[in-house]
Copies of this chain bind each other. A is one copy, B any other.
């Protein structure tokens, strides 16, 4: 299919026959790994880690040295795009991301422009470097926050609990919010396409906060703009498809609508049975998920049993990418992540006819 030594992940996303179920873990490069914490310390700050391609590459590859994962994912922050739009991203200890200049007025929204991708060159340099360093071991996933999710941070000024400011905008000034989302959809499209041009072989849209919306608002203010992004993406490079995964946290009720966006796969969290999700989406898309990351606090025996249960809930045939239903927790024992990866590789061939 490519120069890839292992393209099982890409084939599963396209629902092509595979010998086993591929596996990666959301936030697989992260704080639960001591080697990540060491690099993070050397970097001085989280932002410096994201902005230094060599360091971003280093932490991207760390989990692959430990575990036989079937995909790598670019290490970056979801707020790089608003930062490049001039909002001034910074991080406070324990409080998470924040913006120096949140976007709250009509004037501020009108003044926003789709950023020059040159200002995000450090991301593209990281993608290119990781791709080179991977040397075809496994595919590299690029990603972005969804337009709605980026907008929540831009309007709230950082992490929010109730989303008071953006929902007030949604209820009182919907046309203005649509302007903001349209700009973000264009920015996210350009950002993801630049990642593909730099070497990303699959893409994931993280809609972290779509689940706080009412169904009709999810459709209009989140899903519509993800649809717009997907419609504008480069979907193949040299004849090889670049699959797109869509993940709305808490979006289990809306999977059948999400499956109509043109994406190749949907991320599913653990509040939904994977078999039900498969039935609801009628085989139109692949599914990625959905082990509760808290399972990794349990004993190795229990982790194996829960991996088996997730494989069984999806059932036989291709179209399943094993993953957690949410990012791996920072206090997870790395050895338990190893048990997960091993169990998927050991137990999943029984669900596939193809023997590589």
Residues of A in contact with B (beta carbons under 8 Å apart):
162-164, 167-168, 171-172, 211-216, 250, 252-253, 270-273, 276, 292-295, 297-299, 302, 306, 329, 331
Contact = CB atoms under 8 A, between A and B. Distances in A.
B294 A171 contact: yes
Contact of A297 (B164, B216, B297): B164
Nearest to A213: B271
Mostly, the A contact residues are helix
A306 B295 CA distance: 40
Contact of A271 (B172, B215, B272, B299): B215
B171 A306 contact: yes
Given A172-B299, A212-B271, A215-B272, 20 more contacts: A162-B293, A162-B294, A162-B329, A164-B294, A167-B292, A167-B297, A167-B298, A168-B294, A168-B297, A171-B298, A171-B302, A172-B298, A213-B271, A214-B271, A214-B292, A215-B271, A215-B273, A216-B273, A250-B250, A250-B271
A170 to B, nearest CB: 8
Contacts of A295: 167, 171
Contacts of A163: 294
A244 to B, nearest CB: 24
